[in-house]
A and B are shown apart, each in its own frame.
Chain A
Amino acid sequence: MKKFGKYIFVFLILAKEIFASGGSIYSRFGLGDFYYSYSARRMGMGELGVAIIDYDYLNVLNPASWSKLRLTRVETGIIYHGNNIASNSSSVFYSQTIFTGFMLGFPIDHEYGISLTAGLLPFSNVDYDVTTDESNDLTGSYKLTYSGKGGLSKTFIGLSYKLPFNFAVGASFDYYLGKITHKSSIEFSSSSTYRDGSFSDEYSYHGIGFTVGLISSNLAQLMKLNDIKDLRIGITYSNKSTIDADTVNNSTTIIGTINNSSGKITTKLPYRFGAGLSLQFSDYLFAADYLYQPFNQFTKDNQRLNELKNLQKISLGVEYRKSELRSHSYWEQVILRGGLSYEKTQYHINNKSIDMIAVYSGFSLPLGLESTIDFAFQFGKRGTKENNLLRENIYKFSITLSLGEIWFVRQER
C-alpha cells in the first residue's frame, strides 16, 4: 500500500498543477463531452470493452467484468487532451491534462466471482473559452468572452457475482456530482468609460444512478469452437438518472458580485446501453462494442435541448498479449493494442450531426509481476466545417498505472 500511495500522490500533485485553457465549444451543450475510457488500456482498444472480463484490470463499463479479479488493484492515470479546432476562417489548438480519477478493486471470493470495486472518475467535461473582438461607435472596442468550465464526476461502488453456467453479473451504485459554470463577460478598453461586467451560471449537480452488467460464459466452449480460446458477449445498462442541480446566477458589477437568483433544476440523464463481443484467438483478444444513449430524452429544467440527439458509438479493438507471461523476456511481456471507433455524438447542431471517427493504439509495460504502466494514443476527427460548424482534430494521450497487490492475507504463525 505504501508503494500505491507514492504513485497516487505523484498523480494527484501533477494533476493539480496541470490546468486547462479552453477546448471545444461543443461541450457547451448539455453536460459536455463524455469520458468513456478511464484507462489507457480501454483507450488503446477503442475506448470500450463491454464483454471483456479482466483478471488484472478494472473495467468500469461493465461491473460484471470484475468477477475474475485476481488481486487487489488500484488504477489511476492522466489523460492529455489536445484539440485542434478549425472553423471556416481560423483554427486554434487547445490542450489540457486531466486526472482520470482512481479505481480500487478487491476480490472477495474467487469461487463466486465476488469482487468489490469503487472509484471516483471523470464523467463529463465542459471546457471552452471563446473571445471575440467587437467595437461600435458608442463604446469603442471591447471583448466578449464566453467560457465554460467544469464537469461531472462519478463515484461508484459495486459488486460482481458469478452466476451459474459461468455467467457473470455485476452492479454498481453511481453517484454523480460536479459543478459546471458558464460565464459571459464583456471587457471594454482601458480608456473606456464603460464598465466591464460578467454573468455566470453555476450548476452544482448531484444525483444517483446505477449500472448493471452481464457477461456470458465462454461461448466458444458451448459452441465447441476449438480454435477460439474465449468468446463472450456482454451487455451493460445505466439507468435514466435524475440529476438535481443547485443553480446560482451571479453578475459581476461595479458594486461586486451580485446573486441574481438561486434555485434548483432537474436534469434527466438518459439511460445508457452497451453491448459487446470479445473473442480470444491465440494471443489476440478482439472486441467489438456498441453504445447507445438516447440524448433526445435529455432534459434540463424540464426542457429538451435541440442541440442534443441520440448518441451511438461503435468500436473495434484488438489486444496482443503473450500468454504464459512468466516464461518470456521483458519485451515479450509488453501488451500491444489497437482500435478504431465511429461515434455519432450527442451533439446535433445547425441541423448537422457531429460525428467522430477515431483510431487508437497503446501498449503496456510490466511493472513487476502484477502491475503495469499503460500508454494509449488516440487520434480522432470530430465535426465538420459545414453549416458554420467546427472540425476538430483530437489527440489524446493516456497513461495509467494499474497496480496489483495481495491484500488481506492472514499470515500463518
Chain B
Amino acid sequence: MNKFLLKHKQIFIYLILTLFLVACNNDPTSVGSELLQDVNKIKLNEFNTQKENVKLSSNTFKKKITLGVSDKLILGKNSYIESYILLSFNIYLADSIVTKIKDNKLRVAETWMDMKVKYSLGDKNLPFDFTVHQVRKNWGSDAFNYDSLKILNYDANDVSYSRSITDTLVKFNLAPNTVFEWLKYSVDTTLAPPNYGLLFKPTSATQRLLGFKGYQLNNDPDVPTLYIVLEQPSVFKDTILVSPYMDIHVVNGADVYSLNDIVLEGGLGYKGFLFFDLSSLPKNIIISKATLELNVDSLKSFDGSPSSDSIIVKVLKDSISKSYTSDSSYYAILSRNGNTFSGDISWMVQKWVSGQEDNQGLELSLADEKSSAARIWIYGSKQSEALRPRLKIYYLNK
C-alpha cells in the first residue's frame, strides 16, 4: 500500500480533487430572507405628477421640416392648411420612338395621370378639386418650401381636364401638347422648352386634403403614374408609363395660437414642448416604468386617414433653442387609445434623475408630421388636473 500510494500519489491527488468539481448547489431560496432589514430591501414607489403637484409647463412651437423626403404627397386645403404638389418627370424613350419623334411621325394621342389615394383628411363629401400647371423654373425637393413656391414660375393655364376624383383614385387627363413638348425635349433639348414638371394647386373651393404615395423606391406601383399614348396613325400605337423622379408637397397655414396647449401639426412642423419638474424625486433611484399620458382635445383636432396615432418624444438639450441631446436619434413613441396618447419614457426619466442629462423638457411631434396634414390638439399644462399631461413614474429604491 505504501509503495502504491507513493508511486501513484499524483493520480491519487488528482482524483480526490476532481471529486470537488461535482459540488452540488441548490437554487437560491427564500431561506434567510427574514434576516434582511427593511432598510436594505428594494421598494417600488409611485410618483404621479398629477398627485404630487409637480410644476409643469407646455407650449407649441414651430420647427422647419423638410418635406422632400416624405413618403406622401398631399394636395388640398381646409380651414388651417393648404398643400400643393410638385412633380417632375424624366422620360426615357426607346431609340425607335426617338427616331419617329425626330422624324415628326408620332403624335401624343392621349395622356392621363392615375394617382392612388393613400391619405385623406376631411369629410369625403366636402369639395375637392385642383388645377395643374406647367412649371417654368427649375426646382429641387431638398429645401423647397412655401417661400420657394411663392417665387416659382409656372403657367397660369390649367393643363388638366376630365378630372375624376374618387375615394381611391384621382385621375385626370393632361393636355397632349404639354406632354409632347416633354417628349421632344427628352429627344433633343433644342426642340422644346425645358421640362420642369407640374404644379398641383387646390382650388379655392376645396375643403379637404388627399394624399398620394411619394417617390421612395423604383417601380413602386402606387406612386402617381403618367400614361402617354403615342400613335403613328395606321402604323404604330404604344402606351408609355412614366413615374415622377422628383416630388414634394408644399404646405402653407396660419399660425397656431394655443396658450399652453400643445398643437401638433403635420406638414407645418408644429411641435409641442413639455416640461415636468422632477426635482422632488429621490436621488439614486431606478426607473422601473415612466408613462407619459396626453389627452386630446377632439373638438379642436383634425385627424386624417390613416390616423396620426403616434407621437414621437425626444429629449431636449435646451428648452429655449429646442436643440436635441446627442442621443436624440433615439426617441420614445406614444400611441393613441381613444383620446389619450400614452407611452413609456423610462429611459428619458432615468437619464434626468441619474444626472446624465439636464432636464430641459421634451419635444413632441407627430410621427407622421411629414406625411400628414393632421392637427392633434393636446390639452396643456394650464388645463384642469384631469386633462393636463401627466407622468406616472414607478421607481425602485432601497
Contact = CB atoms under 8 A, between A and B. Distances in A.
Whether A and B are associated in the same complex: the answer reads: yes
A144 B30 CA distance: 9
Contacts of B34: 87, 388
A195 B21 contact: no
Given A11-B17, A194-B394, A249-B284, A131 B29 contact: yes
Nearest to A28: B35
B48 to A, nearest CB: 12
A90 interface: yes
Contact of B32 (A10, A78, A128): A128
Contact of A367 (B6, B27, B40, B289): B6
Contacts of A14: 17-18, 20-21
A249 B397 CA distance: 12
B17 A199 contact: no
B16 interface: yes
Contacts of A139: 44, 394
A260 interface: yes
A349 B34 CA distance: 11
A93 B40 CA distance: 24
A255 B21 contact: no
A67 interface: no
A92 B35 contact: no
Interface in A88-129: 90-97, 128-129
A184 B398 contact: yes
A130 B17 contact: no
Interface in A197-231: 197-199
A86 interface: yes
Contact of A255 (B5, B28, B41, B354): B354
Contact of A80 (B2, B9, B23, B344): B23
Contacts of B46: 138
Contact of B350 (A196, A255, A389): A255
A143 to B, nearest CB: 9
B351 interface: yes
B327 to A, nearest CB: 9
A95 B13 contact: no
Interface in B25-66: 25-36, 40-42, 44, 46
Given A6-B10, A260-B284, A330-B2, A132 B30 contact: yes
Contact of B13 (A7, A17, A85, A388): A7
B17 A95 contact: no
A145 interface: yes
A195 B346 contact: yes
B159 interface: no
Contacts, number: 170
Interface residues of B, number: 50
Interface residues of A, number: 75
Interface string B269-306: 00000000000000111111100000000000000000
Interface stretch (A19-27, A52-60, A236-244, A284-292): A19-27
| Chain A interface, >50% SS class | strand
B24 interface: yes
Contacts of B44: 138-139, 186, 194
Contact of A90 (B31, B285, B396): B31
Contacts of B18: 14
A390 B356 contact: no
A3 to B, nearest CB: 9
B130 interface: no
A255 B24 contact: no
A376 to B, nearest CB: 13
A22 B28 contact: yes
Given A17-B21, A25-B32, A139-B44, A251 B284 contact: yes
Given A7-B13, A253-B354, A330-B5, A91 B21 contact: no
Contact of A132 (B10, B33, B351): B33
A137 to B, nearest CB: 12
Given A255-B356, A373-B13, A85 B347 contact: no
A18 interface: yes
B14 interface: yes
B217 interface: no
A24 B10 contact: no
A91 B17 contact: no
Contacts of A1: none
A251 B286 contact: yes
A78 B2 contact: no
Nearest to A24: B32
Nearest to B10: A6
Contacts of A195: 286-289, 346
B254 interface: no
B28 A145 contact: yes
A331 to B, nearest CB: 7
B1 interface: yes
A258 B398 contact: no
Given A249-B284, A260-B284, A133 B30 contact: yes
A286 B396 CA distance: 57
Contact of A254 (B40, B285, B346): B346
Contacts of A18: 20-21, 23
Contacts of B13: 7, 10, 373, 401
A331 B31 contact: no
Nearest to B16: A399
A141 interface: no
Contact of A186 (B284, B351, B396): B396
Contacts of B16: 399
A334 to B, nearest CB: 10
A190 interface: no
Given A28-B35, A251-B286, A253-B354, A80 B29 contact: no
B5 A94 contact: no
A399 B17 contact: yes
Given A22-B28, A251-B286, A184 B41 contact: yes
Interface in A1-40: 6-7, 10-11, 14, 17-18, 20-22, 24-26, 28
Given A93-B26, A186-B44, A199-B398, A146 B36 contact: yes
A193 interface: yes
B28 A194 contact: no
Given A97-B20, A195-B287, A349-B35, 20 more contacts: A11-B17, A14-B17, A18-B23, A21-B25, A24-B32, A82-B23, A85-B31, A90-B31, A91-B31, A92-B29, A93-B24, A96-B23, A146-B36, A184-B40, A186-B42, A186-B44, A251-B285, A258-B350, A260-B283, A367-B5
The 10 A-B residue pairs with the shortest CB-CB distance in the complex, in nearest-first order: A330-B2, A25-B32, A197-B286, A21-B25, A129-B28, A260-B284, A131-B28, A388-B34, A92-B29, A132-B30
